[in-house]
Every structure is written in C-alpha cells, then in structure tokens.
Amino acid sequence: MLLSIQDLAVRNFHFDATGLVVDVAPTWSIPRCGECGAKCRSGHDSRSRRWRHHDLAGMTLRLRYRIRRAYCGA
Ligand SMILES: [Zn+2]
C-alpha cells in the first residue's frame, strides 16, 4: 500500500458493527491511465476498497476508498 495519506480527503464517516469506517477520496480530480499513467477523461470504472488502518481508542478504524481506474486507450 503506497498511497500517501496526504493525497486523500475525508468525505464521510460512520460506525458499523466493528468500528469506525472513514470514506476517503483522492484530492486530485483527473483520473490517470492505469496502463501508462497519462491523464484520462473517460473509460474509468470504480470500486470501493477498504482496509484496516489502525486502532483508535480501542476501536477498529478502517478507510474506505473508491478506486478509480482509467485507460487512455493507447
Ligand atoms: Zn494509457
């Protein structure tokens, strides 16, 4: 996991049965091609991923991140 937390903004959070879930989103707005890294405007899909971050005051804190994937078509 090489994502930098500085590139993420907290959008929302809620509690579920296991702890705190924080929705985060990238601070950048232009998706990048998953193949070559070029900036793209279309052809992306997204899926959410969540991972356990660390425990906060005895609760499980997880980040939920909507992955954006894009392909420039090259
Ligand atoms: Zn590309």
Round to whole Å and give the CA distance between 42 and 71: 8
pTM: 0.48
| pLDDT tens track for 41-64 | 654 455 556 666 666 667 788 888
**Could you tell me the distance, in angstroms and rounded to a whole number, from the CA of residue 33 to the centre of ligand 1?**
5
Structure tokens at 17: 């049965």
> Which residues surround the ion ligand 1 when the cut-off is CB under 5 Å?
33, 35-36, 38, 72, 74
Q: Are 16 and 55 in contact (CB under 8 A)?
A: no
Task: Tell me phi and psi for residue 7, to 5 degrees.
Answer: -90, 5
Highest mean pLDDT among 4-18, 43-57, 59-73: 4-18
Tokens read off for 46: 């997204």
pLDDT for 67 beyond 70: no
Give the CA angle between residues 33, 39, 44 to the nearest 5°: 50
